[in-house]
Amino acid sequence: MTTIVEMTGIEKRFPGVHALKNARFDLRAGEVHALMGENGAGKSTLMKILSGIYTPDSGEIRVLGNVVQLDGPRTAQAAGIGIIHQELSLMNHLTVAQNMFIGREPRLSFGRLDEKTLNQNAADIFRSMNLKMSTQAIAGELTIAKQQMVEIAKALSYKSKILIMDEPTAALNDAEIADLFDIIRKLKAEGVGIVYISHKMDELKRIADRITVMRDGEYIDTVAAADTPISRVIAMMVGREVNDEALRVPDTSANPIALEVKGLRRGREIRDVSFSLRKGEILGFAGLMGAGRTEVARAIFGADPLEAGEIFVNGEQISIKSPNDAVKAGIGYLSEDRKHFGLALGMDVRANIALASMKTFTDSLGRLNERAMQDTAKKYIRQLGIRTPSDTQEVKLLSGGNQQKVVIAKWLLRDCDILIFDEPTRGIDVGAKSEIYQLLIELAQSGKAIIVISSELPEVLRLSHRIAVMCEGRLTGILPGGEGTKQEEIMHLATLRESMVTNEANDAARRAG
């Protein structure tokens, strides 16, 4: 196989950060080369250099053997390099075809657009991808998965021989990931070299040919995917062996019930969901995307309305009409989208921790007691091990794992005894993940009742004392946690369509006790 990209001695400094130190990377035609590393390891920076978004301070880039100067997205595109960004970058108000050819629309005289040719060209690319999609749909109205496909089609429209995919599966469900992998295999067969960045370890075995690991801006090693165990890759990424202890399921059957819900309903999204949660227990929620897990959590938290259902907290029936009611009842909800719903990114750690409990820091004249806020913040920084230079650091400068800890601190301070975590480790490094897991286990040990919603089955299995599985808005079964439960059993329940329900689910429920 021919080498199509060779990057050597790449240096890049940003103010205060040495982002890339003598980094290197190579890519062969027709391979999927996974680029692995924790957040901040320099993967994205290296790929932004390869796609012309950043210019390196020094170093050499060869494409097809020739040294190239990539000084802008256009030059990189001309060199046959396409990138699909982590944050989808489509223009929501434009159509699919208009998005694909933005910046190089077919034109008539006087800057007039040739919309017909534009749509024709887009349709041609879809056909070559075996993709059935309208070229005139508005991008913003498509599902994330389809938007992802549009991004890929766009990259292909540049006749890219080199395709960089930055976390392409972050928002896809299993079926959509399978579709994506089909397209990747097809591209491989056509000789396209693909750089694949992902945090999902299980995908490496399925799709990657080689794996390059980076750490702290440096090149660590390149290995063949087929004969390298995942644990070895993780060890290279974090620079030490991560020992994930096996889950010990405590006996919580004697603990009082903290939360019980009966017959929750809303349209097709939530269909007759009932379950209970004891103090000290971690209840995992598994299911495919769109199964209704987040909907149930948001409904319990009062963020979305319910049509029917009863909610009991500590045995007492309560009415939750708004998040305010839920918080008063001691329920905290940690959204999957921390940046949008969990944190005030521009404010400091201290203010973020105090944000939900401002009343306790306010005197009768409405003045804030900064001193008390500082003491509280420092207490939680110590207790949760939040890595931050000080309590006045802006939250946006913290890593994902530490931001998550700030959100946890906020809800702990609010005295929430029932905590609902929606995708608690999304976008968080492998190393920091085990820390968050440990924290959740400790919270449970201290008597908090915890719900964990996660799309990653290993995560659900790693944490849950019991596992609730949902499919199409229904709770299809509750499985016991621990080693007895296999991923296959969960997947079975997660794909249990309506007609199949009844006996099987009942069996599973009985088994969970």
Partner 1 sequence: MSNMQATTESVQKDNAGAALKRRFDGAQQKLLAFASLIVLVLVFTFASPNFMQTSNVLAILQATSVNGILAVAATLVIITGGIDLSVGTLMTFTAITAGVFLTYWGLPLPIGILAAIGAGVLCGLISGTIISKMKVPPFIATLGMMLILKGLSLVISGTKPIYFNSTPSFPVISTGSIIGDIIPSVPVPNGVLVLFAVAALASYILGRTVLGRYCFALGSNEEAARLSGVNVDAWKISIYALSGGICGIAGLVIASRLNSAQPALGQGYELDAIAAVVIGGTSLSGGRGTILGTVIGALIMSVLLNGLRILSMPQEWQTVVTGSIIIAAVYADMIRKKKA
Which residues contact partner 1 by CB under 8 A? 53, 72-74, 77, 85, 89-95, 98, 102-105, 107, 110-113, 115, 119, 123, 126-127, 132-138, 154
- Least Å distance between CB 108 and partner 1? 9
Cβ distance to partner 1 smaller for residue 134 or 255: 134
Q: Write the DSSP symbol of residue 332.
A: E
Backbone phi and psi for residue 260, each to the nearest 5 degrees, phi listed first: -135, 135
Cβ distance to partner 1 smaller for residue 132 or 382: 132
Cβ distance to partner 1 smaller for residue 69 or 446: 69
Cβ distance to partner 1 smaller for residue 73 or 482: 73
Report in angstroms the alpha-carbon separations of 107 from 97, 221, 292.
14, 47, 46
- Phi-psi sector, 483: left (phi>0), alpha (psi -120 to 50), beta: alpha
Task: Give the residue among 112, 118, 83 at the shortest CA–CA distance from 97.
Answer: 118
Cβ distance to partner 1 smaller for residue 77 or 198: 77
| DSSP per position, 386-413 | ---S-TTSBGGGS-HHHHHHHHHHHHHH
- Least Å distance between CB 95 and partner 1? 8
- Least Å distance between CB 130 and partner 1? 9
Measured CA to CA, the distance from residue 399 to residue 338 in angstroms comes to: 12
- Least Å distance between CB 173 and partner 1? 22
Cβ distance to partner 1 smaller for residue 71 or 221: 71
- Least Å distance between CB 340 and partner 1? 16
Task: Give the residue among 33, 337, 348 at the shortest CA–CA distance from 165.
Answer: 33
- Least Å distance between CB 472 and partner 1? 25
Backbone phi and psi for residue 78, each to the nearest 5 degrees, phi listed first: -65, -30
Cβ distance to partner 1 smaller for residue 247 or 345: 345
- Least Å distance between CB 433 and partner 1? 29
Q: Tell me the sheet residues that pair with 449.
A: 418
Instruction: Name the token pair of 164.
Output: 């960089």
Report in angstroms the alpha-carbon separations of 397 from 40, 234, 271, 513.
12, 25, 41, 45
